[in-house]
Amino acid sequence: MTTNGAPAEDAGQRPYAVLDGVGKEFTSARTGERETVFDGFSLTLHHGELVAVVGASGTGKTTLLHLVAGLEHPDTGRITLDDETRTDGPAGPSGTEGTGHRLGVVFQQPRLLDWLSVRRNVELALTSAGLDPAGASQALADVGLAQYADRYPSVLSGGQRQRAAVARAFAVQPELVLLDEPFSALDQLTARRLRLLLQDLWTARPRTGLLVTHNPLEAAFLADRVIVLDGRPARVHAEFAIGLPRPRAPEDPRVFDHQTEILAALG
């Protein structure tokens, strides 16, 4: 573990996403004053690594994810994806301006198009990514929704809709997967099942990923590395390497040990 600063580089891994001295401010809708979310913030995600970011509300977790996705741009510093520095301006279709990096994003809410079937929702994502829409069938089968492919999202359960959102994100063969509290709106049993599903997808084909979560157990179970954010502007308060092989069992005492460490850092 490292504390009170940017995490140390692992010389054995190749960086994929690098935030270097990033600064970001917003105007508060409540007070009208400028608020600094990040100031000189640095973080590196390595190829094939799933990093979880935890912290109290308001510490900038979702802003960090939006910066990596290209939905927001830094006021200062730079963000580099696979040695290509993002330019200013609105994000392109893949979430990065002027690059061919393909992102898969899973939000807290599924954000499916209710007037299209589940299959068409996934096909639309594939077509937008320049891929064969026929891949939708396998993507839905991978998440256990093959029999629901021709139904509309409105008739599915919350867990099934989120499975469809996961299928859509992974169907586009993303280089980088971004997960913004993906299971927080689900009941505990359904969330547990989807965490296991996500682990299966990751084990079958490791990718680079960034997971934002309030759940220390979820972070310890899914991630290779956990970053604890604190303060305003946010800083890396603590970092934990989760050195457990996959597949992991949610009830593994070692996962609970890591959860306890993360909780202590959050406390």
Cα-Cα-Cα-Cα dihedral sign, residues 97, 102, 107, 112: positive
The span from the CA of 198 to the CA of 143, in Å, is 9
User: Alpha helix (H) ranges present in the chain?
Assistant: 61-69, 118-128, 136-142, 158-171, 188-204, 216-222, 253-266
- Print the domain residue range for 82: 2-101+176-266
pLDDT of 156 higher than 60: yes
Last residue of a domain, one of 156, 174, 192: 174
* Residues 13-58: tens digit of each pLDDT: 789 999 999 999 988 777 778 889 999 999 999 999 999 999 988 8
Tally the domains of the chain. 2
Percent helix, percent strand, percent coil in the chain, to nearest 5: 35, 25, 40
pLDDT of 4 higher than 90: no
Question: Are residues 22 and 87 part of one domain?
Answer: yes
Question: Are residues 86 and 152 part of one domain?
Answer: no
Cα-Cα-Cα-Cα dihedral sign, residues 127, 130, 133, 139: negative
Indicate which CATH number applies to the domain containing 190.
3.40.50.300
Strand, coil or helix: what is 52?
strand
Question: Are residues 198 and 136 part of one domain?
Answer: no
Per-residue pLDDT at 86:
61
Per-residue pLDDT at 126:
95
**Residue range 80-108: mean pLDDT, rounded:** 62
* Residues 160-169: tens digit of each pLDDT: 999 999 999 9
Which residue reads 């759940």 in tokens?
A: 215
